[in-house]
Structure 1
């Protein structure tokens, strides 16, 4: 049984260097426009409505099926 080599350790950075790195990374972020946010929100709302309708119909069908099975068993 051979031991796997240890992963190389990352050098520790000081708080100032860490904050500089965080600031550099936040500059790379591209925020969505107001229009993109609106379109995405409407799409999510539509998908929620469609999913809720689907599950409501499935629940209704399964409920009616269960009621029919109970009626047959009487």
Structure 2
């Protein structure tokens, strides 16, 4: 494996950093909004599923214990 001098390494880093395309502030805000909306929607969805299955388990346990408890 060829060794790279520190000077050459930092030169290559600068060249690669010049290739980076940074998002605009509008793109950043839109992406942030989408992430917040989707995580909120999924949170509500999984809360509903969890509540439903909790209810099902309680009903089944109630049947198994004869309805007492």
**Structure 2-normalised TM-score?**
0.90
Q: What are structure 2's unaligned runs of at least 5 residues?
A: none
Q: What are structure 1's unaligned runs of at least 5 residues?
A: 1-8
Aligned pair count reads 65
RMSD of aligned C-alpha atoms? 0.7
Higher relative contact order (CA 8 A, sep 6+): 2
1:21-60 correspondence to structure 2 within 5 Å: 21-60=12-51
Q: Distance in 1 between matches of 2:8 and 2:21?
A: 23
**Structure 1-normalised TM-score?**
0.84
- Write out the 4+ residue segments of structure 1 that deviate beyond 6 Å after TM superposition: none
